[in-house]
Amino acid sequence: MNKILCGSLSLLLGASLQVQATELSNDVASRINEPGTSRVIITFHDKTSRSRLSNKGSQAEMKRTLKANYTASSREVRNLFTNTRSSIGRISDELWAANAMIAEVSNSALETLQSMDGVAQVTLDRVIPFEELPANSSDTVKEDEWTYGLKVLGVDKVRKAYNLTGKGVRVGVLDTGIDANHPDLKGKVVAWGDFAGTSATEKDAHGHGTHCAGTIAGGNASGKHIGVAPEAELVIGRIFGDSGGATLSGILQAMNWMTDPDGNAETNDHPRLVSNSWGGRQGSMDKEQAMWNIVTAWRELNIVPVFAAGNSGPRPKTIGTPGGYPHSFAVGATDSNDKIAGFSSRGPITWEGKDYVKPEVSAPGVNVYSAKPGGGYQSMSGTSMACPHVAGLVALMIEANPALTVSEIENILKETSVDLGEAGPDNIFGVGRADIGAAIAKIKGEKAAQKANFESIFE
């Protein structure tokens, strides 16, 4: 499949991963006319230009337009499934934000799907393994009433200077779930969806999701502040099961759900950002048009797509996807001394012959102290720990100015980051380590002198 190349960011945000004809992934093509069935993701060519969605009068109208686009784009294939004479299989779920469906299809019908003009891509559903975290560093981290990550990012100073806590900002988290009864997280979950099982109530048998949620919105029940935005509201999608595995279809369902958790386009219940401490190695999910489309839809709905860069460093070109998509915001990991973590994945990533710098920024991701299921605490390392730090910072920025767009938030974060690597953007730190004090000062239009004064007040 061709990857997209866009001349400017504005063009990129409204674009989709372009294909010229129906594409069957190699594993699907090998099953044509084989006995049995295959669980597949069928993605359709758009009938509506996504680049024009921003002209709609409201987010509700955008959602209605995307749903109508799916209905029109998928009509021929849906009719094929409902025609009892065809007997090609059954539709499992419909993903309007991705303009795709999940279906169980007879292998004998795969060639028929390939011949249909409206079908852009057919890929096989598969297990997405959970990336095991790197071991914690032996370095001793000095902490008191604030974790080192919050102090390095300037959260303690911003809290005292502006009283920003993320109040009222909805943050999506796609992970292993959450211990919603943890004393640092109790009462903060406003929506729950289980896409790795059937649990009607919040759970986390692994611990990764609770740790990430704690970094975003944890309080200080233990006497130590662990969360960047402790009054944020959490929309939790469980995509990894108890054993750590996820499915591509489950991830896509969860990403689609984030765009409209209650299923009612008229209610504005989707999060303003989604924290994604997961991904695949470079090349593993870069051809998934349905996933690309949902990240695009998030941006159209003013949802900031924050992703972990991955833990495959220190070699170059190890940035994962979908964090490696040009329209995703990837986060690398630093330690308490502002050094890049050896495991932090590096860029660049190439799309249609053009190299893109990745990650966008970095944040603390080594020996990060946060919540543990059962009411306890633990330290973890990984870009998975850096990602929720930046997600929390985005929540504070939105609280400071709810009118900010995705692009404005990303640009402010990059413009105000502390440049730690080569001068300018590089493929190790991105543009640098995030700095919430400088970001909020910029949002509020404060001059450099005022920002310097802000820094000196709390030194």
- Give Cβ neighbours of residue 149 (< 8 Å, ≥ 6 apart): 215, 363, 364, 368, 385, 389
Count of Cβ atoms closer than 10 Å to residue 198 Cβ: 6
- Give Cβ neighbours of residue 353 (< 8 Å, ≥ 6 apart): 5
Under 8 Å between Cβ of 330 and 277: no
Tokens matching residue 247:
């499915």
Catalytic residue IDs: 175, 208, 384
Cα 386-408-340 angle, rounded to 5 deg: 25
d(CA 55, CA 7): 21
Return the closest-CA partner of residue 342 out of 435, 426, 428, 417.
Answer: 428
3-class secondary-structure state, position 266: coil
Q: Where are the alpha helices (DSSP H) in 237-350?
A: 248-258, 289-300
Phi, psi angles (nearest 5°) of residue 443:
-60, -40
Q: Which residue has the tokens 């986390």?
A: 204
3-class secondary-structure state, position 256: helix
279 φψ region: left (φ > 0), alpha (ψ -120 to 50), beta (else): left
Going through 312-411 in order, the beta strands assigned E by DSSP cover 329-334, 349-351, 354-356, 361-364, 368-372, 376-380
Q: For residue 75, what are the CA distances in angstroms to 23, 44, 151, 420?
A: 19, 10, 53, 52
DSSP letters spanning 133-196: PPPPPSSPPP-SSB-HHHHHHTHHHHHHHH----TT-EEEEEES---TTSTTTTT-EEEEEESS
Cα 203-204-205 angle, rounded to 5 deg: 120
d(CA 329, CA 347): 13
Which amino acid, one-letter code, is at 197?
G
